[in-house]
Amino acid sequence: EFNRTLAEYETGFGAVYLNRWIGFNHILAILNNPHSSFTLKVQLLDINWVNCENRYTNFEIGDKTTNYVLSLNADTANCGESITGTPNLNGRPFSTYDVDFTGVHECALNYGGGWWFD
């Protein structure tokens, strides 16, 4: 469902009542509002259905010219540092199967979906 082209990740796809990606174009329009501040919350469930979350108040997603590079620092990391730990996604460009920045590893093609693969 999320193995899409970069163009689809830019404009958005999916159904609101199911799984929806609003698109980088919309995300950046929201994040670039100088009168607002945002927190990214990553909520995870482990294999025993125990809930934990990490919060990032200082995060940025670059624009198309940076290949939507991700920059963030955790304020709370109750799950361990799953995003900036190992592998570290900080400073990584966004890859899809048709625009992949992971070199010979071809992570987006091999694992599917769009992500800031390391």
**Total number of domains constituting the chain:** 1
Confidence of residue 31 (pLDDT cuts 50, 70, 90): very high
Find the Cα–Cα–Cα–Cα dihedral 67, 105, 84, 78, rounded to 10°: 120
Residue 4 belongs to a domain: no
Residue 51 belongs to a domain: yes
Residue 44 belongs to a domain: yes
* Tokens at 110, concatenated: 């091999």
pLDDT (average), residues 98-112: 92
The answer, yes or no, to whether residue 30 has pLDDT greater than 90, is yes
The answer, yes or no, to whether residue 8 has pLDDT greater than 90, is yes
Residue 117 belongs to a domain: no
Q: Cβ-count burial of 46 within 10 angstroms (0-12 exposed, 13-18 middle, 19+ buried)?
A: exposed
The confidence score (pLDDT) of residue 80 equals 67
Tell me which residue range forms the domain holding 76: 31-111
Residue 2 belongs to a domain: no
* Tokens at 7, concatenated: 């163009």
Q: Cβ-count burial of 55 within 10 angstroms (0-12 exposed, 13-18 middle, 19+ buried)?
A: middle
Strand stretches in 24-111, DSSP E: 40-45, 51-56, 58-61, 70-73, 76-77
Q: What is the pLDDT of residues 32-82, one digit of tens each?
A: 988 888 888 888 787 888 888 888 887 899 999 999 999 887 676 677 666
Residue 63 belongs to a domain: yes
Residue 22 belongs to a domain: no
The confidence score (pLDDT) of residue 68 equals 97
The confidence score (pLDDT) of residue 85 equals 59
Residue 21 belongs to a domain: no
